[in-house]
C-alpha cells in the first residue's frame, strides 16, 4: 500500500546536511532538522543530533515546509470536484456552477424568503465530514501539500472549514488541526433554476447574506437577554443556521472580476465580518490591487488560470477582456506582491503534482519570485487563518509538516523524495501518465516505479 506512514514508531528523525528553506527566516544552505512527536524539535546549522534519532542524509536535498491549500475540498469526497467548473474559466463560487443539493441540506418546499434559510448548512463542520479514505488525500500530499483548509462546498452557506493535516490515519479526528475556521460562501446558482426558490438572482443572494447577518446579530442579543433574565424574557427560538454563522466569523467570498471584488469588499465591511476573497481572475488589473490595498483584504488567488477555450468556434469573438485575462492572469500574484496585498495561492482542484508545478511556474514566469510563491503556499495562508504559531514554516516547535525534494520545489524535473505530516514520513505516490493524449512519455519518467 502506497503512502502509508513509515516509521511512525520512531523516536526522532533528523534530516542532516540539507538545504532548509525555512520561509520564516533565511534559508540554511547546510542544516539539520530534528523531528520528534510530530513537532519540529530543532532546526539550525549546528544542531546536536539526538542519540536516538534515525538519520536522513540530506546532502543534495532541500527541506520545505509542507504546502497549505487554503481553500480545498480534499477529504470530503462527496464535494463537487472543483474541476467541474474549470472549462468555463469559472473556478469556485462562480454563477452558474452546478450545485446539486447536499446530503446535509434538508430537502423541503421551495424557499419563500430568507427566513427559510435556503441552501444553508452553516452548522456543518468540514471536520465532521472528513473521510480518511478519500484518494485525493494521497494525491495532493504527493504534490507537496501537507495541510488543507477543507470546506463543505454545496449551497450558499455550505458550512465551516477545518484545517486538516493530510495524514494517513483511520481516525479523521487525528487529522484536524482546527475545526472551525471560516464560512465558505458561494453565490453559485444551479443552471436553469428559474424562479422556483429564493434566492433566484445575484441580488437575492446578497439580500440573503445581509438578512442572515442581521438575524444573527439579533439572535445574539435575544439570547443574551434571555440568559440574563430567563424568568421574564421570551425564549428565542433555536436557529441552527444562525448558530453556525456565529460559530465561524471569518467569511470566504467569491470575487473574480474587479467589479465583484469591489462589491464583496463593501459587503464584508457592511456585515462587519472579517473576509477573505477567493478567485481573483482579474487580480492583475491595476484597479484590483488599489482596491485590495484600500480595504486591506487578504485574498486567495486561484492557480487555475484562465485558459483559451478548447476547440473554439472559429467565428466566435473573444472579448478583449477575456484575452487579457488569459494573457495576464498568471501575473496576478507578482503584481499583488508588488502592491503589498496579502495573498495566498490555492490549487482550486489541481491535484496532480505535474499540473501544480505547471500552474505555479506560470506565475513564476510572469514575475513572481520563487520564495514569494512558496510563502504564498505556506506561511501566508497559515497567517491568514491565525495558525502561524504551528504551521507554515520550518521552525522549532511547529508541526513537523515538511516536503523534502531533490531540486527546487517548483522545477519541472524536481523529484519529491519524502513528505512529513505530523512528523510521519510518506513517499509520494506514482503519478498517473498525463491525460493530454499527446502521445509522449511521462514528463518525469524517474517517478514511475
State phi, psi for 114 to the nearest 5 degrees. -60, -30
Can you count the helices (H) and strands (E) in the chain? 11, 16
Of residues 25 and 98, the one with the C-beta less far from another protein = 98
Q: What distance in Å separates the CA atoms of residue 218 and residue 30, rounded to the nearest whole number?
A: 58
Cβ density class 334-370: b for 16+ within 10 Å, e for less:
bbbbeeebbbbbbbbbbbbbbbbbbbbbbbbebebee
Of residues 212 and 356, the one with the C-beta less far from another protein = 212
Grid cell listed for 374: 512558496
Instruction: Give least dist CB 299 to another protein, A.
Output: 18
Instruction: Give least dist CB 292 to another protein, A.
Output: 13
Of residues 267 and 331, the one with the C-beta less far from another protein = 267
Residue closest to 141 by CA, chosen among 321, 311, 279, 5: 5
Of residues 192 and 445, the one with the C-beta less far from another protein = 192
Residue closest to 169 by CA, chosen among 40, 53, 75: 75
Instruction: Give least dist CB 367 to another protein, A.
Output: 17
Of residues 128 and 217, the one with the C-beta less far from another protein = 217
Residue closest to 333 by CA, chosen among 357, 308, 360: 360
Rounded to the nearest 10°, the torsion over CA 101, 103, 108, 111 is -50
Q: What distance in Å separates the CA atoms of residue 297 and residue 284, rounded to the nearest whole number?
A: 16
Grid cell listed for 389: 504559531
Grid cell listed for 326: 488569459
Of residues 170 and 317, the one with the C-beta less far from another protein = 317
Instruction: Give least dist CB 409 to another protein, A.
Output: 24
Contact residues for another protein, defined by CB under 8 A:
95, 110-114, 192-204, 206-208, 210-211, 214-215, 218, 221-222, 225, 257-259, 262-263, 266-267, 286-287, 308, 318, 320, 323-324, 326-327, 438-439
Instruction: Give least dist CB 319 to another protein, A.
Output: 9
Instruction: Give least dist CB 225 to another protein, A.
Output: 5
Instruction: Give least dist CB 256 to another protein, A.
Output: 12
Contact yes or no for 162/153 (Cβ under 8 A) = no
Of residues 66 and 199, the one with the C-beta less far from another protein = 199
Amino acid at each position: 500500500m502506497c503512502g502509508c506512514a513509515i516509521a511512525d514508531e520512531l523516536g526522532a528523525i533528523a534530516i542532516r546536511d540539507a538545504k532548509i528553506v525555512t520561509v520564516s527566516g533565511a534559508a540554511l544552505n547546510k542544516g539539520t532538522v530534528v523531528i520528534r512527536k510530530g513537532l519540529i524539535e530543532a532546526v539550525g546549522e549546528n544542531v546536536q543530533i539526538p542519540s536516538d534519532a534515525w538519520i536522513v542524509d540530506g546532502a543534495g536535498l532541500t527541506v520545505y515546509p509542507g504546502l497549505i491549500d487554503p481553500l480545498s475540498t480534499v477529504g470530503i469526497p462527496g464535494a463537487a470536484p472543483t474541476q467541474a467548473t474549470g472549462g468555463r474559466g469559472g473556478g469556485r463560487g462562480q454563477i452558474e456552477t452546478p450545485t446539486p443539493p447536499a446530503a446535509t441540506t434538508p430537502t423541503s418546499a421551495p424557499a419563500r424568503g430568507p427566513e427559510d434559510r435556503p441552501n444553508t448548512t452553516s452548522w456543518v463542520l468540514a471536520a465532521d465530514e472528513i473521510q480518511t479514505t478519500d484518494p485525493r488525500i494521497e494525491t495532493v500530499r504527493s504534490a507537496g501539500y501537507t495541510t488543507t483548509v477543507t470546506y463543505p462546498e454545496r449551497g450558499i452557506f455550505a458550512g465551516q472549514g477545518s484545517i486538516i493535516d493530510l495524514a494517513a490515519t483511520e481516525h479523521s479526528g487525528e487529522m484536524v488541526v482546527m475545526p472551525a475556521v471560516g464560512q465558505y460562501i458561494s453565490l453559485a446558482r444551479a443552471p436553469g433554476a428559474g424562479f422556483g426558490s429564493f434566492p433566484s438572482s445575484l441580488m437575492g443572494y446578497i439580500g440573503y447574506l445581509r438578512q442572515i447577518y442581521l438575524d444573527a446579530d439579533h439572535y445574539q442579543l435575544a439570547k443574551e437577554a434571555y440568559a440574563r433574565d430567563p424568568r421574564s424574557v421570551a425564549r428565542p427560538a433555536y436557529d441552527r443556521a444562525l448558530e453556525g454563522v456565529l460559530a465561524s466569523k471569518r467569511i470566504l467570498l467569491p470575487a473574480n472580476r474587479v467589479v465583484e471584488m469591489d462589491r464583496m469588499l463593501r459587503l464584508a465591511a457592511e456585515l462587519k465580518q472579517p473576509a477573505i476573497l477567493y478567485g481573483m481572475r482579474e487580480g492583475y488589473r491595476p484597479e484590483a490591487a488599489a482596491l485590495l490595498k484600500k480595504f486591506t483584504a487578504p485574498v486567495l488567488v486561484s492557480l487555475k488560470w484562465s485558459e483559451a477555450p478548447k476547440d473554439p468556434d472559429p467565428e466566435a469573438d473573444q472579448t478583449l477582456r477575456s484575452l487579457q485575462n488569459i494573457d495576464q492572469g498568471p501575473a496576478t500574484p507578482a503584481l499583488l506582491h508588488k502592491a503589498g496585498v496579502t495573498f495566498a495561492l490555492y490549487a482550486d482542484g489541481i491535484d496532480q503534482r505535474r499540473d501544480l508545478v505547471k500552474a505555479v511556474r506560470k506565475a513564476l514566469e510572469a514575475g513572481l519570485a520563487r520564495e514569494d510563491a512558496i510563502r504564498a503556499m505556506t506561511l501566508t495562508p497559515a497567517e491568514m487563518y491565525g495558525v502561524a504559531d504551528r504551521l507554515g514554516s520550518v521552525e522549532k516547535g511547529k508541526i513537523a509538516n515538511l516536503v523534502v525534494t531533490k531540486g527546487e520545489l517548483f522545477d519541472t524535473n524536481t523529484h519529491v523524495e519524502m513528505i512529513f505530516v505530523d512528523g510521519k514520513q510518506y513517499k509520494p505516490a506514482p503519478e498517473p501518465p498525463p491525460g493530454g493524449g499527446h502521445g509522449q512519455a511521462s514528463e518525469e519518467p524517474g517517478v514511475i516505479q
